[in-house]
């Protein structure tokens, strides 16, 4: 019998309901898998005692007649989510030792649904990065390797720990956040499914902020069905979050049919610029799969796409510089050692210089610059205008199509260290994902094939606002026809 940690959420749910296993047994198997996967550096905090207690409570609820979808399902939680009594430091030194006394809304919903917390997952510091190399815990390593090559591969970022944990069967599902592609890019790199919901679909309360108008919570899963199950539990209105939408949450799993007859799928011609040959061929193949499912596939234009990357790297750092101003060493987290005669200003300066990593310092400085009196109109205001134009492009496109099929990444996963010296090359990893965040739209990444070197490749489907059910259905059709069954060969 295969390890219980390799189960999908849907399969585990059925086994639990049939009495073929217990939550404690699945949880113990996951904890054993985590203990044997230290080389991946995916889990940065393991809450074994808490997990077993939650598993036992779930088994008791089931014995009393509860059949909730996530009851007894073990999950990993990205370190950016505040979890009561458990270290939550967004992979940053400046939050060293921070243990929140409160629970984020999204994780509260998961625990109310009966899910089990295995621990916290590695990430780029404050979710700033595309490779999980900007982490105080050290980089997360993908379970995948290039064929015939032992070079450690990135799991993507910022939610690299979440992607690795799901791909390596350390947990049955995981939470992530997506500010510019931080769910979809790691999913593409690791052969997992990741969905970034519409901005406002999931509460941001209790999630450590990077860029407040862009951040959105979402799940990682092994299948589209599992992603639908997780998203239903995570989504919903939260009065504690002023940006949370008061809209009903559909039954996303019930929407999975895979029949796309009568649907129109758009292919944005602008996304072909800078696209690698393997991803381009995959895109063509994916379009053919959607045609086989009954969809009409048409070319569309998103003319302001070329301005998205510079606009994003003005808006996101600007919001980050404001959000991260609160970390000063006064009330919680890291405080620098002060010299004789140092005052409060020196404490602020030393604490922030020592507490933030290089990438966070870079983005905070960029953000402070574009918000400064002499440059606000020239940079930040112009970027916001571009953001409006990008959103309008999508609105015009959705007047004639139901969803958009696009690449998720310009290339397969790269080796750790291969891009560290070139921040611009690293930023270009987000070129196909950031438009979705700027427009506040839902997007889902599905594994569709493998590269010539054996690494997974994914495509993303982009939907209209609140159109998660539609893109989940299209993703389900794509998943069925792609038949992606590749798994990483165990080396860790």
Number of domains within the chain: 1
Give catalytic status of residue 385 as yes or no: no
Give catalytic status of residue 158 as yes or no: yes
In angstroms, how far is the first alpha carbon of the chain from the final one?
21
Residues in the chain, total: 492
Q: What is the predicted pLDDT for the residue at 424?
A: 87
Residue 199 contacts residue 242 (beta carbons within 8 Å): no
CA separation for the pair 371, 356 (Å, rounded): 20
Residue 316 contacts residue 368 (beta carbons within 8 Å): no
CA separation for the pair 215, 199 (Å, rounded): 8
Which of 5, 23, 78, 232 does the annotation list as catalytic?
78
CATH of the domain at 242: 3.90.1300.10
Residue 465 contacts residue 441 (beta carbons within 8 Å): yes
C-alpha separations of 433 from 84, 115, 127, 148, 441 in Å: 32, 29, 15, 30, 11
Range(s) of the domain holding residue 283: 1-492
C-alpha separations of 293 from 192, 195, 290, 482 in Å: 21, 21, 5, 11
Spatial CA neighbour of 266 closest among 393, 447, 179, 389: 393
CA separation for the pair 490, 416 (Å, rounded): 18
Walk along the chain (492 residues) and give the pLDDT tens digit of each residue.
Answer: 579 999 999 999 999 999 999 999 999 999 999 999 999 999 999 999 999 999 999 999 999 999 999 999 999 999 999 999 999 999 999 999 999 999 999 999 999 999 999 999 999 999 999 999 999 999 999 999 999 999 999 999 999 999 999 999 999 999 999 999 999 999 999 999 999 999 999 999 999 999 999 999 999 999 999 999 999 999 999 999 999 999 999 999 999 999 999 999 999 999 998 788 899 999 999 999 999 999 999 999 999 999 999 999 999 999 999 999 999 999 889 999 999 989 999 999 999 999 999 999 999 999 999 999 989 999 999 999 999 999 999 999 999 999 999 999 999 999 999 988 788 889 989 999 999 999 999 999 999 999 999 999 999 999 999 999 999 999 999 999 999 999 999 999
Q: Which residue reads 């011609």 in tokens?
A: 269
Which of 23, 88, 104, 182 does the annotation list as catalytic?
182
Q: What is the predicted pLDDT for the residue at 2?
A: 73
CA separation for the pair 470, 461 (Å, rounded): 10
CA separation for the pair 464, 420 (Å, rounded): 35
Residue 384 contacts residue 315 (beta carbons within 8 Å): yes
CA separation for the pair 85, 332 (Å, rounded): 14
Which of 158, 162, 203, 244 does the annotation list as catalytic?
158
CB atoms inside a 10 Å sphere around CB 174? 29
Q: What is the predicted pLDDT for the residue at 1?
A: 56
Residue 327 contacts residue 335 (beta carbons within 8 Å): no
């Amino acid at each position: 019998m295969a390890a219980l940690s390799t189960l999908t959420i849907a399969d585990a749910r059925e086994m639990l309901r049939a009495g073929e296993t217990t939550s404690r047994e699945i949880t113990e198997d996951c904890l054993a898998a985590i203990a044997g996967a230290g080389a991946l550096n995916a889990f940065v905090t393991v809450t074994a005692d808490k997990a077993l207690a939650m598993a036992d409570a779930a088994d008791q609820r089931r014995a009393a007649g509860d059949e909730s979808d996530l009851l007894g399902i073990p999950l990993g939680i990205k370190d950016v989510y505040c979890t009561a009594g458990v270290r939550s430091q967004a992979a940053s030194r400046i939050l060293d030792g921070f243990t929140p006394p409160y629970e984020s809304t999204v994780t509260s919903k998961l625990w109310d649904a009966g899910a089990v917390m295995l621990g916290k997952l590695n990430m780029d510091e404050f979710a700033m990065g595309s490779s999980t190399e900007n982490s105080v815990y050290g980089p997360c390593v993908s379970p995948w390797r290039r064929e015939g090559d032992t070079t450690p591969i990135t799991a993507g970022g910022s939610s690299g720990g979440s992607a690795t944990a799901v791909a390596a069967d350390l947990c049955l599902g995981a939470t992530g956040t997506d500010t510019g592609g931080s769910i979809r890019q790691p999913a593409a790199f690791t052969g997992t499914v990741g969905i970034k919901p519409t901005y406002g679909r999931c509460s941001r309360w209790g999630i450590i902020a990077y860029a407040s108008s862009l951040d959105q919570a979402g799940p990682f899963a092994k299948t589209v069905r599992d992603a639908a199950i997780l998203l239903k539990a995570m989504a919903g209105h939260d009065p504690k979050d002023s940006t949370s939408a008061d809209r009903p949450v559909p039954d996303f799993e019930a929407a999975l049919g895979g029949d796309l007859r009568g649907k129109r799928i758009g292919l944005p011609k602008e996304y072909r610029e800078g696209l690698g040959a393997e991803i381009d061929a995959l895109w063509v193949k994916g379009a053919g799969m959607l045609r086989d499912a009954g969809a009409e596939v048409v070319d569309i234009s998103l003319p302001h796409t070329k301005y998205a990357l510079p606009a994003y790297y003005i808006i996101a750092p600007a919001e980050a510089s404001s959000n991260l101003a609160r970390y000063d060493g006064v009330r919680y987290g890291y405080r620098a050692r002060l010299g004789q005669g140092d005052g409060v200003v020196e404490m602020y300066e030393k604490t922030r210089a020592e507490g933030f990593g290089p990438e966070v310092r870079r983005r905070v400085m960029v953000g402070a610059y574009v918000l400064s009196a002499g440059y606000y109109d020239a940079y930040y205001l112009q970027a916001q205008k571009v953001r409006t134009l990008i959103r309008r492009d999508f609105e015009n496109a959705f007047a004639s199509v139901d969803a958009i099929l696009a690449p998720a990444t310009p290339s397969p996963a790269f080796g750790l260290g291969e891009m560290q010296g070139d921040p611009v090359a690293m930023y270009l990893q987000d070129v196909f994902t950031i438009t979705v965040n700027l427009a506040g739209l839902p997007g889902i990444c599905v594994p569709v094939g493998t590269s010539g070197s054996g690494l997974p490749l994914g495509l993303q489907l982009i939907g209209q606002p609140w159109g998660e059910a539609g893109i989940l259905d299209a993703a389900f059709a794509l998943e069925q026809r792609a038949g992606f069954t590749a798994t990483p060969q165990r080396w860790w």
